[in-house]
């Protein structure tokens, strides 16, 4: 019912917007004014011959009512530097994908970014081919990237996006409550991987039977898919993997046939039987931070791209307790860690060169990127002597007129952003930069998988995965029988076609290297 | 002469009579046009390989490619079976419950009690599925749920992982559906019963008919047209499922798909990942065409058997 509603609405809205070209169709207020502004500026060139572009991005903060002052502050820089005026279109995460797809369809926006869906965006023609433009419009940005990194946003040798420059290397960690660990004198330094956790959990359970040692990160995600080392996901999300590479072996292998998968599934199953993991982990709708702050859980396992101490420090407030972090393995870089969030010029943009020039500034000009993030100095933020940023006296992220601080990992260049006070020390930044360049990297780094030939199979297979993976990953079903059933169901859904297609494309890619 | 003169007047009076009615209907007609007819242009997206750059008119055609994913696995059989069987169960059991409630309420006569029961039966219908899903969750969750911790414990039985055991869900979903909808459905039957001529009952009781006989010999036969219309309308939607019931109430638990997957939830889950406009249009079209065929067939059958009660 809902699906049909959405699809008919979508189709309807598209038709309507074709008929009523240029009228304000946008659902959000920002979207409406923005599209009108663009239309006016493009036809009348009222703003003195500056090229107008619109930038749609996700804000995890409150969506601001009025972006005009921030735009003016940006334009004072961009008019002189590149002769461009920019309109900002911050959107909430819930609306983003849908609003962007409509806006691209209508030619209302010039720049947007992907959220793990680059392959799909390229396949449906949403991305402008910027291969020949980047050397002219954004050479400084290009120089920031290693050559291999930009291959992650290419398809068939053409460049369609620029990855957001940020700490890429995600490391699997255990986030645990320090008070319990100290009280019981737990030896967490002995923990090198997830199997070492069993005795720790046993100690916690024995001393505190009312505590459940492990909470899921989110529904059906015990952390298991992060613990298996050296995985190149070949374009899949870690929540729904299919064929992967492990280590240096260039044979595409089913994720669920890996010996490590079976091993960890068995371990989690034992945890489930011993009440070491939340019983409803496969179906709960609560996320880790919420569960931790309820006081009923000892730890959870997720991946972060910041140093252990920084991660623990920033997670203490949302978890409600002081937490510590230990690594459960090493970070590993593959194509998807680079291209998950990448900046795209819309295929329907009328001013792709101007848009790319502006993107270039978000990677290279600290004033531009920080104005986008923090807004107006004095009104939205104040700058401290040590280069960090605070909110004005008596204000916070929720009360200032404009802030997009939580989009720091989404926009432009993370390494030239001013850190919020209490985070991002110089040592941390150096560590993160070091990780980006030196963390172990998949031999297939730069390979992108084009799923358009097996899209039918993907839909069917992803349904099967959602059916079995959460239960197995959280130990709530018998590992052996569920795995056998799971593998058969995958086969029936056309799984082997996907693996074969991946291998074919990978072999072709290897040949070309 | 006189005839010629009277004609325009006749037309005029006809408009004068129906004009205000048309005016009243205008917003409704407009709504139908905008909401139900204009989006129908989207149908041909089902046969296109949608490209953002080329737009909906210029995207290339791709035949029945978009429909393939619906039939790619044995999931197609499972979800179609689930959708139809649940709907059949809902139609049959729902109608029986609704009529029973209507007859019982009617027997109470006009009193405060009736109003009270009617309102409390109607209340669940006003709640959103998300809220209901959490009410069900409060009963069923493994750690602190009411059933595991109170009822099963008192009976000395083992805990049940409700959200992992698919066998229970046909019953759970049917109960939840009835709890939410039976009261609402009963209103229509209550209205139909209220429309039955009271003198028929008086005559019957004079002839010595018991209350039971009155129900089975008078009320039920006279409700037949209403039942047929309601059933026909429900049958037309037999390929559509109540998304909230099948998606929210089982908490989207993967282990339950074998008994909770319907066409709508399958399409939703598949397309949330791929965000493919063509495929969702294809699925919507598939459901509509099947629904259309079934409602026409059912109506033809009714017309054969009992032509007065056919819809068209």
Is residue A250 over pLDDT 80? yes
DSSP 8-state code for residue A295 = T
Tell me, what's the pLDDT at B9?
A: 55
Distances (CA, A) of A164 to A117, A141, B297: 14, 11, 57
- The lowest-confidence range among A23-27, A291-295, B263-267 is A23-27
Please give, rounded to a whole number of angstroms, the shortest distance from the CA of B258 to a CA of chain A. 9
DSSP 8-state code for residue A50 = P
- For the CA atoms of chain A, what is the radius of gyration? 24
This complex has an ipTM of 0.70
Subunit contact B255:A476, Cβ cutoff 8 A: yes
Tell me, what's the pLDDT at A240?
A: 84
Spacing of C-alpha A409 from chain mean position: 8
Query: Tokens 């018991």 belong to which residue?
Result: B210
Triad B200, B201, B204: Cα angle to 5°: 90
Which residues in chain A are closer than 8 Å to B57, comparing Cβ atoms? 18
Asked whether the beta carbons of A305 and A433 are under 8 A apart, the reply is: no
Asked whether the beta carbons of A280 and B163 are under 8 A apart, the reply is: yes
Asked whether the beta carbons of A172 and A229 are under 8 A apart, the reply is: no
CA distance A130 to A136: 10
B6 against A428, higher pLDDT: A428
Half-sphere CA count of A67, side-chain side, radius 13 A: 30
Tell me, what's the pLDDT at B8?
A: 54
Spacing of C-alpha A40 from chain mean position: 34
Tell me, what's the pLDDT at B288?
A: 81
Count of beta carbons in the 10 Å neighbourhood of residue A507: 12
Of A50, A33, A44, A135, nearest in space to A90 by CA? A33
Distances (CA, A) of A15 to A27, A350, B171: 15, 21, 42
Tell me, what's the pLDDT at A10?
A: 40
H or E stretch including A383?
strand A382-383
A318 against B263, higher pLDDT: B263
B291 against B81, higher pLDDT: B81
Tell me, what's the pLDDT at A13?
A: 36
CA distance B66 to B45: 9
Model confidence at A39, pLDDT cuts 50, 70, 90, reads very low
Per-residue pLDDT reduced to its tens digit, B90-105: 999 999 999 999 999 9
Per-residue pLDDT reduced to its tens digit, B222-260: 998 889 888 888 887 788 888 899 998 988 888 888 899
Query: Exposed e or buried b for every residue in A449-469, given b needs 16+ CB within 10 A?
Result: bebeebbbbbbbbbbbbbbbb
For residues B192-215, give the mean pLDDT: 89
Residue to substitute from B42, B137, B254, B269, interface A, most A β-carbons within 10 A: B254
For residues B298-303, give the mean pLDDT: 83
Nearest CA in chain B to A472: B255
Please give, rounded to a whole number of angstroms, the shortest distance from the CA of B237 to a CA of chain A. 10
Triad A105, A109, A114: Cα angle to 5°: 85
Q: Which two structure tokens, joined as six digits, stand for A63?
A: 């969506």
Subunit contact A8:B287, Cβ cutoff 8 A: no
CA distance B86 to B302: 22
Tell me, what's the pLDDT at B135?
A: 93
Which residues in chain B are closer than 8 Å to A6, comparing Cβ atoms? 280
CA distance A118 to A127: 9
Largest CA distance in chain B: 95
Is residue A463 over pLDDT 90? no
Asked whether the beta carbons of A276 and A202 are under 8 A apart, the reply is: yes
Q: In what order do the strands lie in the sheet with A342-345?
A: A84-91, A51-58, A111-113, A342-345, A162-163
Tell me, what's the pLDDT at A30?
A: 36
Subunit contact B254:A468, Cβ cutoff 8 A: yes
CA distance A333 to A315: 23
Provide, rounded to the nearest whole percent, the portion of chain A with pLDDT above 90.
52
CA distance A390 to A384: 7
Tell me, what's the pLDDT at B10?
A: 60
Tell me, what's the pLDDT at B275?
A: 65
Indicate the SS3 state at residue A130: coil
Tell me, what's the pLDDT at A268?
A: 96
Triad A333, A498, B52: Cα angle to 5°: 80
CB pairs under 8 A between A and B: 168
Which residues in chain B are closer than 8 Å to A456, comparing Cβ atoms? 65, 68-69, 72
Asked whether the beta carbons of A494 and A456 are under 8 A apart, the reply is: yes
Residue to substitute from A1, A56, A215, interface B, most B β-carbons within 10 A: A1
Count of beta carbons in the 10 Å neighbourhood of residue B159: 14
Tell me, what's the pLDDT at A20?
A: 30
Q: Decide: residue A197, CB within 10 A, 0-12 exposed, 13-18 middle, 19+ buried.
A: buried
CA distance B260 to B255: 9
Phi, psi of B253, deg, nearest 5: -80, 125
Of B278, B51, B277, nearest in space to A98 by CA? B277
Residue to substitute from A127, A280, A476, interface B, most B β-carbons within 10 A: A280
Tell me, what's the pLDDT at A36?
A: 41
CA distance A356 to A53: 10
CA distance B304 to A477: 52
Subunit contact B284:A3, Cβ cutoff 8 A: yes
For residues A440-451, give the mean pLDDT: 89
Which residues in chain A are closer than 8 Å to B74, comparing Cβ atoms? 492
Tell me, what's the pLDDT at A358?
A: 96
Tell me, what's the pLDDT at B306?
A: 74
Of A2, A12, A458, the CB nearest to B39: A12
Mean pLDDT, chain A, whole residue set: 85
| CA-based torsion, A498, A126, B275, A8: positive or negative | negative
Asked whether the beta carbons of B163 and B253 are under 8 A apart, the reply is: yes
Tell me, what's the pLDDT at A87?
A: 95
Asked whether the beta carbons of A330 and A171 are under 8 A apart, the reply is: yes
């Amino acid at each position: 019912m809902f699906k049909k509603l959405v699809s008919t609405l979508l189709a309807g809205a598209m038709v309507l917007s074709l008929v009523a070209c240029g009228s304000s169709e946008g659902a959000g207020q920002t979207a409406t004014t923005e599209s009108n502004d663009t239309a006016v500026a493009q036809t009348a060139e009222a703003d003195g011959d500056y090229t107008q572009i619109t930038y749609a991005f996700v804000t995890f903060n409150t969506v601001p009512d009025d972006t005009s002052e921030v735009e003016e502050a940006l334009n004072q820089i961009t008019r002189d530097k590149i002769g461009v005026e920019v309109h900002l279109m911050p959107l909430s995460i819930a609306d983003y994908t849908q609003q962007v797809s409509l806006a691209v369809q209508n030619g209302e926006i010039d720049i947007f970014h992907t959220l793990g869906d680059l392959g799909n965006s390229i396949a449906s023609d949403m991305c402008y081919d910027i291969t020949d433009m980047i050397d002219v419009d954004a050479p400084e940005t290009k120089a920031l990237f290693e050559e291999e990194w930009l291959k992650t946003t290419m398809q068939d040798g053409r460049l369609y996006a620029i990855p957001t420059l940020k700490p890429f290397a995600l490391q699997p960690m255990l986030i645990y409550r320090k008070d319990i660990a100290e009280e019981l004198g737990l030896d967490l330094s002995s923990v090198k991987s997830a199997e070492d956790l069993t005795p720790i959990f046993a100690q916690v359970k024995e001393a505190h039977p009312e505590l459940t040692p492990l909470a899921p990160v989110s529904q059906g995600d015990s952390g298991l898919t992060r613990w298996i080392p050296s995985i190149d996901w070949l374009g899949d999300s870690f929540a729904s993997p299919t064929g992967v590479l492990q280590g240096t072996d260039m044979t595409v292998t089913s994720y669920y046939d890996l010996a490590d998968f079976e091993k960890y599934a068995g371990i989690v199953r034992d945890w489930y039987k011993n009440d070491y993991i939340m019983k409803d982990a496969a179906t709960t709708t609560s996320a880790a931070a919420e569960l931790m702050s309820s006081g009923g859980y000892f730890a959870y396992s997720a991946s972060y791209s910041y140093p252990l101490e920084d991660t623990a420090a920033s997670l203490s407030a949302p978890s409600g307790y002081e937490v510590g972090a230990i690594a459960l393995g090493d970070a590993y870089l593959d194509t998807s860690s680079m291209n998950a969030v990448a900046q795209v010029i819309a295929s329907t943009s009328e001013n792709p060169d101007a848009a790319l020039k502006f993107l270039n500034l978000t990677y290279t000009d600290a004033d531009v990127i920080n104005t986008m993030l923090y807004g107006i100095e004095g009104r939205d933020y104040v700058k401290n002597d040590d280069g960090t940023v605070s909110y004005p006296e008596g204000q916070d992220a929720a009360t200032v007129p404009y802030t997009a601080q939580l989009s720091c990992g989404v926009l432009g260049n993370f390494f030239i952003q001013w850190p919020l006070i209490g985070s991002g020390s110089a040592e941390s930044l150096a560590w993160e930069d070091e990780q980006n360049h030196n963390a172990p990297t998949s031999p297939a780094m730069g390979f992108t998988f084009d799923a358009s030939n097996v899209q039918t199979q993907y839909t069917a297979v992803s349904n099967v995965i959602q059916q079995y993976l959460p239960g197995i990953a959280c130990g709530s079903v018998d590992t052996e029988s569920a795995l056998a059933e799971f593998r058969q169901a995958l086969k029936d859904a056309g799984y082997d076609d996907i693996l074969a297609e991946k291998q074919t494309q990978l072999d072709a890619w290897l040949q070309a290297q | 002469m006189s005839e010629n003169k009277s004609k325009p007047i006749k037309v005029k009076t006809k408009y004068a009579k129906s004009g205000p009615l048309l005016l009243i209907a205008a917003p409704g007609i407009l709504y139908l046009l905008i909401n139900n007819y204009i989006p129908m242009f989207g149908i041909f997206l089902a046969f296109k390989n949608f490209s953002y750059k080329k737009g909906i008119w210029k995207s290339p055609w791709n035949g029945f490619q978009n429909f393939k994913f619906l039939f790619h696995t044995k999931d197609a059989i499972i979800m179609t079976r689930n959708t139809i069987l649940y709907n059949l169960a809902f139609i049959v059991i729902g109608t029986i419950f609704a009529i029973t409630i209507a007859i019982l309420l009617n027997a109470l006569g006009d009193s405060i009690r009736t109003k009270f029961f009617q309102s409390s039966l109607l209340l669940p219908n006003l709640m959103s599925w998300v809220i209901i899903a959490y009410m069900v969750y409060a009963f069923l969750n493994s750690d602190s749920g009411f059933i595991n911790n109170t009822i099963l414990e008192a009976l000395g039985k083992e805990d049940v992982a409700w959200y992992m055991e698919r066998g229970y869900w046909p019953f759970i979903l049917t109960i939840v559906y009835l709890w939410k909808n039976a009261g609402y459905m009963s209103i229509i039957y209550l209205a139909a019963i209220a429309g039955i001529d009271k003198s028929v009952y008086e005559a019957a009781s004079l002839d010595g008919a018991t209350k039971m006989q009155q129900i089975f010999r008078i009320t039920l036969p006279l409700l037949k047209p209403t039942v047929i219309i309601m059933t026909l309308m429900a049958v037309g939607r037999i390929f559509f499922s109540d998304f909230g019931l099948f998606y929210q109430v089982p908490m989207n638990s993967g282990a339950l798909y074998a008994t909770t997957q319907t066409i709508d939830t399958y399409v939703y889950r598949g397309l949330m990942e791929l965000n493919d406009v063509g495929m969702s249009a294809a699925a919507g079209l598939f459901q509509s065409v099947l629904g259309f065929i079934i409602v026409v067939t059912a109506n033809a059958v009714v017309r054969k058997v009992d032509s007065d009660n056919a819809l068209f």
